[in-house]
Structure 1
Amino acid sequence: MQPLRSGIVGTGFMGSVHAHAITASGGVVDSIVGSSLTSASRAAELFPAAIPVGHLSEMLERDVDVIHVCTPNSLHFDQALEILSAGINVVCEKPLATTPAQAAELAATAAEHDAVATVPFIYRYYPAVREARNRIREESGNDLWLLHGSYLQDWLADPKLTNWRVDPGLGGASRAFGDIGVHWCDLMEFVTGHRIVRINATMTRAFVRDGGPDANRTEDGAVLTFETDRGAAGSLVLSQASAGRKNRLWFSFDGPRTSYSFNQEEPEYLWVGSGDEQVFVGRNPDRNLLAGRQRRGALPPGHPQGYQHTFNDFVAETYEAIRGQLPEGLPTFADGHRAAVLTQAVTDSATNGAWVEVPEVSHDAGKSQKVRL
């Protein structure tokens, strides 16, 4: 079986993460597009089979099976649409697009072309997260009623620090929620099966950031309350300016009999609590935590699995879908559309100071993308 040939658009941190995941999944990095041919050439040096190309149109003319879009948010829509229109499968970094309408168009286009089109909501791929999902699915009589958590970072905890994400023209109208809040919400809905139907949000800034008006138009953090379609209440605290918090995604999904908690910075364990006991369930490679089978290269207990491993598993399952298999829970463009709708609801609520109803998103596009939801 020939390895899948992949193109990468974008040479920053995320481009590197995708490239390593491609090779770990048995694929080949065929070609790389950067902001310039020089940047593409530097990135291609790390992957012997890769060649630098000057523009996405050149990559589309090559014999590639899938293209990974790892560019600033404002470029995702045009690039992903061009790739799909060329009949090529695509992996697009989140947010899929900066507006719900654009995200909906991409999901519809993927369905029209019967393409595998995925978004890396990679926190789904921690075994502890799958363990929580499996237990919640199998447990009866424990209706989850309180869904709460936080996602805290400190990489912008200095008014002198900046990044293209702070500019709404490049990153979109929401920064903290659009960048990390969508991860938490995707994880909550994936694990619990609940869907957010109403949101009340407040956005805030830690300080006046250097760089003028455009550097201060997106939020450093947000506080949300929400309600779900199953009658649960929830809350979420987000920050990209909390000193000492590097990438702390944490949740607690609470029921009257059993509660489940996970911390991404300590990813080997799922906390499970009941009236009788509180236990930490460790990752066990002998259990079927990922789609009923153990993925190749799995680490033994005591060897912590990290962020890159989740990315590797996500890309491996995307490539399985391209080959016609049926991965369970693979995040598609339909999920990217859902994230865009939630982001719009959050920004509308914060602007208006009121509760906002969240429109439901059809998953018809996801059904045509060779996955089991």
Structure 2
Amino acid sequence: MADRLRAGIIGAGFIGGVHAHAVRAAGGEVTRVAASSPDRSHEAAVRLGARTGAVSGEALIDADDVDVVHVCTPNSTHVALARRALAAGKSVICEKPLATTLDGARELASAAHGLVATVPFVYRFYPAAREIRARVHAGESGPLHLLHGAYLQDWQAAGAPAGWRGDAAEGGAHRAFADVGVHWCDLVEFSSGHRITRLQAATAGGGTASTVQFETDTGATGSVVVSQTALGRRNALRISLDGERAAYRFDQEAPEAVRIGGIDGDRTLHRGSSASSEAAARYSLLPPGHPQGYQDCFNAFVADTYSAVRGGVPDGLPTFADGLRAAALTDAVIRSSESSTWVEVPS
């Protein structure tokens, strides 16, 4: 393996650019980029600062100068590309969903055994998320009994073009929940330590909006509202974890603080505070007052993935097992919406 990890990025849209920036921030090099045609691959290589464009995603995977394959393509292509990369012994970062079906996600999770294979559930990497997790795990909150919140966007409002995401063959059977609802569930399960075991879901707007009620393995209950047609909401990911002695609030559009409700009063804990946990401080890179955001989370995720490639064991790294978990939750939401009943979430 080269001293500097060499990345190949398949897919050159918005998220491919986010990956490219994160690779460089982690000290890696983007050696190859593959887009939808050789000409577009060449253009993307120039734009993303790669050494060269690849004639195809398959050629990129097979190249000797690629250590880590980043799959940033439409959902329907993830299984074939990630499978090929894993079979070649490459480390893989694959955008979610891992697959458009639960069986496809299971296949990839199994194929990833013994390899570094991660999924960008990057909201875990906000210092505020690590702060909540540390406090819950330390017992500050007491038992959690209610987990609730929302992930609201408006980019699909008023019939805005959905591109491949609006095509079930390319994007999958469920739109908003599979796209952003799984981010909410991952963040809540990661922060709380709970697992959603049963749920009841209702879907509207051709899959652009959902409401989900759920129960967890420790007896808590909860709900989430997911929409990509909520006018005025850009990326309003909000979680609330309510316990016997404390409650925690986080808003991704105001990510520099955790709101803590307590029996003796409420307070706001800002990033970089002297009261911050060690887990949160690890991801607090800038002095307080200089905001950190989504790209910083993505940079931290890629840096931790690359640490794992080199033999490290970073805490809280989202792997293909977490991608499979997201697929199981999506499958349960689809089944519940179709049957109008409570359903079990596969473990």
Q: TM-score range by the shorter chain?
A: over 0.9
Deviations 1:222-258 (A, max 9, x none): 0010000000010000100011100000011001210
- Equivalent in the alignment of 2:306: 319
Q: Point out where structure 2 has 5 or more consecutive residues left out of the alignment.
A: none
- Pairwise CA distance, 1:292: 7.8
Match status 1:227 vs 2:238: no
Q: Specify the SS of the correspondent of 1:128.
A: helix
2:199 corresponds to which letter in structure 1? I
1:311 corresponds to which letter in structure 2? F
Deviations 1:137-159 (A, max 9, x none): 00257110000000000001112
- Equivalent in the alignment of 2:285: 298
Q: Distance in 1 between matches of 2:141 and 2:267?
A: 20
Q: Distance in 2 between matches of 1:160 and 1:128?
A: 33
Tell me if the contact between 2:26 and 2:299 (Cα under 8 Å) persists in the aligned partners: yes
Query: What does 1:116-131 align with in structure 2 at a 5 Å threshold?
Result: 116-131=116-131
Q: Distance in 2 between matches of 1:331 and 1:286?
A: 28
- Equivalent in the alignment of 1:275: 263
Q: Specify the SS of the correspondent of 2:159.
A: coil
Deviations 1:14-43 (A, max 9, x none): 100000000011000000000111221122
- Equivalent in the alignment of 2:39: 38
- Pairwise CA distance, 1:162: 2.7
Deviations 1:181-209 (A, max 9, x none): 0000011100000000001000001xxxx
Q: Specify the SS of the correspondent of 2:165.
A: helix
1:103 corresponds to which letter in structure 2? A
- Equivalent in the alignment of 1:348: 335
Query: What does 1:181-200 align with in structure 2 at a 5 Å threshold?
Result: 181-200=181-200
Q: Distance in 2 between matches of 1:61 and 1:246?
A: 39
1:189 corresponds to which letter in structure 2? E
- Pairwise CA distance, 1:290: 6.8
Q: Distance in 1 between matches of 2:336 and 2:110?
A: 27
Q: Distance in 1 between matches of 2:273 and 2:64?
A: 39
Instruction: Give 1:102's match in structure 2, choosing from 77, 85, 104.
Output: 104
Match status 1:66 vs 2:68: yes
Identity of aligned residues (%): 50
Q: Distance in 2 between matches of 1:23 and 1:130?
A: 24
Tell me if the contact between 2:147 and 2:222 (Cα under 8 Å) persists in the aligned partners: yes
Tell me if the contact between 1:89 and 1:117 (Cα under 8 Å) persists in the aligned partners: yes
Tell me if the contact between 1:130 and 1:290 (Cα under 8 Å) persists in the aligned partners: no
1:4 corresponds to which letter in structure 2? L
Tell me if the contact between 2:58 and 2:81 (Cα under 8 Å) persists in the aligned partners: no
Tell me if the contact between 2:143 and 2:244 (Cα under 8 Å) persists in the aligned partners: yes
Q: Specify the SS of the correspondent of 2:191.
A: helix
Q: Distance in 2 between matches of 1:292 and 1:283?
A: 8
Query: What does 1:1-373 align with in structure 2 at a 5 Å threshold?
Result: 2-59=3-60, 60-111=62-113, 114-139=114-139, 142-205=142-205, 218-284=206-272, 291=279, 294=282, 298-360=285-347
Tell me if the contact between 1:6 and 1:28 (Cα under 8 Å) persists in the aligned partners: yes
Q: Distance in 1 between matches of 2:280 and 2:288?
A: 18
Q: Point out where structure 1 has 5 or more consecutive residues left out of the alignment.
A: 206-217, 361-373
Deviations 1:50-78 (A, max 9, x none): 20011123222222110100000000011
Q: Distance in 2 between matches of 1:82 and 1:283?
A: 41
- Pairwise CA distance, 1:166: 1.1
What's the TM-score, normalizing by structure 2?
0.96
Tell me if the contact between 2:7 and 2:66 (Cα under 8 Å) persists in the aligned partners: yes
1:260 corresponds to which letter in structure 2? Y
Q: Which moved more, 1:309-318 or 1:52-61?
A: 52-61
What's the TM-score, normalizing by structure 1?
0.89
2:65 corresponds to which letter in structure 1? D
Q: Distance in 1 between matches of 2:275 and 2:116?
A: 28
